[in-house]
Amino acid sequence: MKDIFEDIANMQQNIQPLNINGLKGRLLRIPSAKKTRKREILLIYGHHSSLERMYGVAEAFADYGNVAVPDLPGFGGMDSFYKIGMKPTIDNMADYLATFVKLKYRNKKVTIIGMSMGFVIATRMLQKYPDLANKVNLLVSLVGFTHKNDYTFSRNRMFFYRASANVLSKRIPSILFYNIALHPTMLRSLYSRMHNAKNKFKHLDDKDKKQMIEFEVILWRENEVRTAALTSYEMLTLDNCKKQIDLPVYSVSVENDQYFDNATVEQHMRVIFTDFTDYRTKPPAHAPSIVATKSAAAPFMPTKLKRLLSK
């Protein structure tokens, strides 16, 4: 695997400042690898993410158009909503994304690709701003979901995750968590033993595992704790099935996904969207590794999706 930190250095030429509603972050823009392909692609990353994590995925989609990946408030080092006296709810994330779409794609059609939480936010945006559906020429869910019942967690695990997220969304607990549990030394020594980490690491050799741990240290410390916690809680209590959207959805799902039940995901998406098409893949995990290069992200782009994007 190529050195992730070398990739991070190389991607800087494609990053520019982003300032929306007084919140400062970054925007990754990768021009189409083929000049004949003019498709505009908005890629929205998921939870526990950053532009650096999504770089390989963005490069893969750049084979089919111009790709833009904006930071989300509180993630990737961007200012959080708390800076302007707001909470990082899914509704507020949707408002932020709507503002970005209106500014960036004023006179253009756009393909929206949302990964996991990114698709949750995109869905809520289109529900709150139905006029924006007219700007969307393709809506893609990349291991996305729409309802709390899509999770495969046991009742006890769901209760634990919800309770933990609720506590850490408070100011004092989040400060303590950041300075103790998320101290770099603590992360390096304990993170690889956690339940979710074991799933991430089981397909990696020692060198890649070491890179992943180092990059996890960066991710955990640059994503604002209260934002990560509150968005986690909202995803664990989510119901996006209350309003329909006048668009079909193309869903990329993972065989044996460790987080979601694909049949339940489909049922809920059919409630919201005018049509549903599933593209099943068999990659080694729910999402690309945080050290995934363009080639490593390829399994999350099934052939039928590539054909769709090529039109």
Please report the pLDDT score of residue 33 as a whole number: 83
Residue with structure tokens 């968005």?
Answer: 231
pLDDT in tens, 44-68: 999 989 998 899 899 999 999 999 9
pTM (2 d.p.): 0.90
CB atoms within 10 A of CB 278: 17
Which CATH superfamily hosts domain 4-151+240-310?
Alpha/Beta hydrolase fold, catalytic domain (3.40.50.1820)
Q: What's the CA gap between 198 and 175, in Å, rounded?
A: 26
Burial 204-228 (b: 16+ CB within 10 A, else e): beeebbebbbebbbbbbeebbbbbb
Predicted pLDDT of residue 36: 76
Per residue in 241-268, pLDDT (tens digit) is 999 999 999 999 998 888 999 999 999 9
Is pLDDT at 228 greater than 50 in this prediction? yes
**Domain extent listing, the chain:** 4-151+240-310
Question: Closest Cα partner for 259 from 135, 150, 120?
Answer: 150
Segment 94-105, tens digit of pLDDT: 999 999 999 999
pLDDT classification of 217: cutoffs 50, 70, 90? confident
Question: Which amino acid is present at 286?
Answer: H
The pLDDT score that the predictor gives to residue 78 is 97
User: 71-80, 111-120, 208-217, 290-299: which range is least confident on average?
Assistant: 290-299
Q: What is the pLDDT of residues 193-207, one digit of tens each?
A: 666 655 666 666 666
Check residue 194 and give its pLDDT: 67
| pLDDT score at 1 | 46
